[in-house]
Amino acid sequence: MADIAIKKKRPKNLNLLSIRLPLPGILSIIHRIAGAALFLLLPALLWILQNSLASAETFAAIKGVVANPLVKLILFGLIWMYMHHFCAGIRYLLLDVHKGVDLASARLSSWIVFAVSIALTLIVGAKVLW
Q: What is the pTM of this model?
A: 0.84
In this prediction, residues 32-40 reach a mean pLDDT of 98
Per-residue pLDDT tens for 84-101? 999 999 999 999 999 999
pLDDT confidence of residue 95? 97
- Average pLDDT of the chain is 92
pLDDT for residue 2 is more than 70: no
pLDDT for residue 57 is more than 70: yes
Q: Residue 24 carries which DSSP code?
A: H
Q: CA dihedral in degrees (91, 92, 98, 100; nearest 10)? A: 40
Query: At what angle are helices 69-96 and 103-129 packed, to 10 degrees?
Result: 150
Q: Among 19-23, 91-95, 116-120, whose mean pLDDT is lowest?
A: 19-23
Helical spans, DSSP H, in the chain:
2-9, 23-54, 56-66, 69-96, 103-129
How far out from the chain centre does Cα 59 lie? Answer: 28
pLDDT confidence of residue 62? 95
43 vs 3, more confident:
43
pLDDT for residue 1 is more than 70: no
**Of the candidates 26, 23, 27, 34, the residue with the CA atom closest to the CA atom of residue 85:** 34
pLDDT for residue 49 is more than 90: yes
Domains and CATH numbers, the chain: 23-129 (1.20.1300.10)
**Of the candidates 85, 80, 92, 76, the residue with the CA atom closest to the CA atom of residue 39:** 85
**pLDDT level of residue 5 (50, 70, 90 thresholds):** low
pLDDT confidence of residue 13? 78
